[in-house]
Structure 1
């Protein structure tokens, strides 16, 4: 494919992808040690432990850290397809394959009329900003499904709906891909796929939906927006603790339940705004589905009780799809998300100890990262509304006409 700029050609994209992903693989394989806590323990300890349980035909019902929809079992079991590698290495290889799949989808999508390769560059640059955590979580696999669903929405609505439903059964959030999709075929395919896959897991494996209870009982994770309340309160003697709880490092102590409830309320408000937008929006263009999905995931991520570093992978993937479309309005929010990704790798894993200690460096990093996400969410919401919801114009009042008079009769004053 010919391009007007050599720096934007697929060859340069492939080279940049190869160099950056090689470094990520060297970090997760521990050829080089990345600063901060070991991010690969989730794979070598938690995922591999789940793998041993799942391969027996049941979900890990006694493990409260299992907080994922039933299709997540497929991602955890997937390294079994490479029996010649040990579990962690196989997982990293498959994560890299999912990463490459996203790039291929973006290259193909960006080559069509009215599209651009800017989205592919967002993915190539954005993923390494998050460090090796990307390959040490299964979120990159989920993101590949969501990206495929969004890029299929225009020409293959049924496929898009099926992929969105399958993604939702991997990690819930891909359901938001359907926010800006108007075609009934997508929604019908999503309903059928979701029902069939969920029903199959419910019948075949006990405890398919136990994750709902485990997810409900989570607290306020130390990297979330609400956690900033306690990071500041600790400077003034707040008597709480930072402990590993439900698989993440959370605040436990006085008023944590209040902040967690407030976070849920904010999420509810975000959902209400999205429903209002869907009812009011009338201008749907080719890029609207991507812009809406990006905005929706931004809102839900920012207001969540948990903002784990891997959540940024979702945002980078959706941001990349937005910029595949030349007419997308999301350039500023995408830039803010990329900046937040860079700060994220600094707060985890590089200086996570400072975050846990709530010292000046840790609190500053969290204020900056979460502030960038809030700014991105507000900006994206405003741009989406302006792009799709028509402005109400005041109805002009016609000037009063003088009363008709009979021929020859005087006009009264």
Structure 2
């Protein structure tokens, strides 16, 4: 094995070791510190229940827990491709396959001249910080589509747009990865690929399944999740005498009581403000590097995550994947942002599943955990936008140096090009 192959061998070995550990945690997930089986339950109970409905050609329109775009249907039906395994086993195998696709895409991008394997290393070591949670959610599959989209945009914009559209049909947010495409032909081609692929795919799903847009009703009714930024504010308010309560509804633990609707409205207003800032950046940006599309994608998803009414632990999978893409380029401005996201990911694993009961009961331990995690995410969002904005503006030209004329022995100025005797 030569020196050039050593980093790839090390990445492969690290990936195999960490994923084996994640599988071990998943098998032993009934431990009190690993969620008492709650992590895996979402797959073998909820996803499998939806699988039964989807296999009969309809989306679960009357299920308040169904809050996902129609592209989620094929993902949840995919375990049928491995009939020799149980639904749960097949789902985990396919999730690991998507995980491997992300690693291979990042390693291939990082191996190019002038690029870096740091992104592949971040993905390999960062995802296990969430323990076994990524294996029991389909966010890895969505992240794979977003990562491939970003890494494809530079050379094949239409294909990059197509992957972004497929990801958006599964979980909306991958549409944001197109924000930083360079103006002109690249943007037009990416947009064309996204629109055509999205329209055709949506048409096919609407033809195969009944009620493809039923998720919109359930999504609009969601409240303030306890792990969101607004939820952290309400958790602190509990210690100041606020009389709100925590209730399980719409698939999450949410606050109910006075002022909750106002907090939800503020979150929506912040999301709208974030959208405005990103559009303003797009209009005013004047300088693009190879890393600008990557940085803009991370910044956009981070801003929309922080301002959301819901910040589930698996959302960190998205941010880790996009941060990893940024680190494949040596021109990225998001390195300190990636460090903050790794720290926030580690805190997320402590909050869920390890000490989730503390978070639900709004004890000081749970409240401070969420304050730390969301504080790190907020700092990362502000820093990301600041650095994105700064690096997209051309540097101010330096003024030409002014040379003062030298004085001669008689005190009169002498000029370098004087022809006087």
1:363 and 2:367 matched: yes
Cα displacement (A) at 1:284: 1.2
| Corresponding position: 1:25 with 2:23 | yes
Q: C-alpha separation between the residues in 2 aligned to 1:276 and 1:394?
A: 26
SS at match of 2:170: helix
Aligned position for 1:264? 268
**Other-structure match for 2:415:** none
Question: How much does 1:36 deviate?
Answer: 2.8
Matches within 5 A, 1:130-145: 130-145=130-145
Given candidates 267, 278, 281, the residue that maps to 1:277 is: 281
Once the 2 structures are TM-superposed, how far is the Cα of residue 29 of structure 1 from its aligned partner? Answer: 2.8
Which residue of structure 2 lines up, in the alignment, with residue 84 of structure 1? 84
Q: Which of 290, 293, 296 is equivalent to 1:292?
A: 296
Deviation string for 1:192-223 (max 9, x for gaps)? 11111112222321110111111111000000
Long gaps (5+) in structure 1: 397-413
In structure 1, how many angstroms separate the alpha carbons of the residues matched to 2:2 and 2:388? 32
* Number of the residue aligned with 2:322: 318
Contact 1:26/1:32 (8 A) holds in 2: no
1:226 match: secondary structure: helix
Query: Does the C-alpha gap of structure 1 residues 251 and 297 become closer, same or farther in structure 2, counting only changes over 3 Å?
Result: same
Taking a change above 3 Å as real, the CA distance of residues 103 and 394 of structure 1, as seen in their structure-2 partners, is: closer
Partner residue in 2 for 1:345 = 349
Gaps of 5+ in 2: 401-421
Aligned with residue 354 of structure 1, among 350, 358, 362: 358
- Please give the TM-score of this superposition, normalised by the length of structure 1: 0.92
* Match for residue 209 of structure 2 among 202, 205, 209: 205
Aligned to 1:60: 60
Alignment of 1:3-402 (within 5 A): 9-30=7-28, 33=31, 35-37=34-36, 38-182=38-182, 183=186, 184-390=188-394
Maintained 8 Å contact 2:119/2:327? yes
Q: Does the aligned pair in 1 maintain the 2:295–2:388 contact within 8 Å?
A: yes
> Normalised by the size of structure 2, how large is the TM-score?
0.91
**Alignment partners' CA distance in 1, 2:346 and 2:223:** 26
* Cα distance in 2 between the residues matched to 1:321 and 1:330: 10
The alpha-carbon deviation at position 390 of structure 1 amounts to 3.1
Q: Do 1:106 and 1:321's aligned partners in 2 also have CA atoms closer than 8 Å?
A: yes
Say whether the 8 Å CA contact 1:28–1:92 is kept in structure 2: no
The CA distance in 2 between the partners of 1:393 and 1:195, in whole Å, is 46
In the alignment, the residues of structure 1 paired with residue 137 and residue 354 of structure 2 have an alpha-carbon distance, to the nearest angstrom, of 17
Q: CA RMSD in A?
A: 1.8
Deviations 1:300-349 (A, max 9, x none): 00110000000000000000000000111111000000000000000011
C-alpha distance in 2, partners of 1:393/1:229?
A: 45
- State the shift of 1:28 in Å: 1.9
Partner of 1:102: helix, strand, or coil?
helix
Q: Distance in 2 between matches of 1:384 and 1:107?
A: 24
Separation (CA, whole Å) in 2 of partners of 1:314 and 1:31: 23
Give, in whole Å, the separation in 1 of the partners of 2:300 and 2:29: 38
- In structure 2, C-alpha distance between the alignment counterparts of 1:32 and 1:134, rounded to whole Å: 16
The size of the alignment, in residue pairs, is 394
Q: Is the 8 A contact 1:146 1:174 kept in 2?
A: yes
Q: CA separation in 1, counterparts of 2:92 and 2:224?
A: 29
Shift of 1:3: 5.3
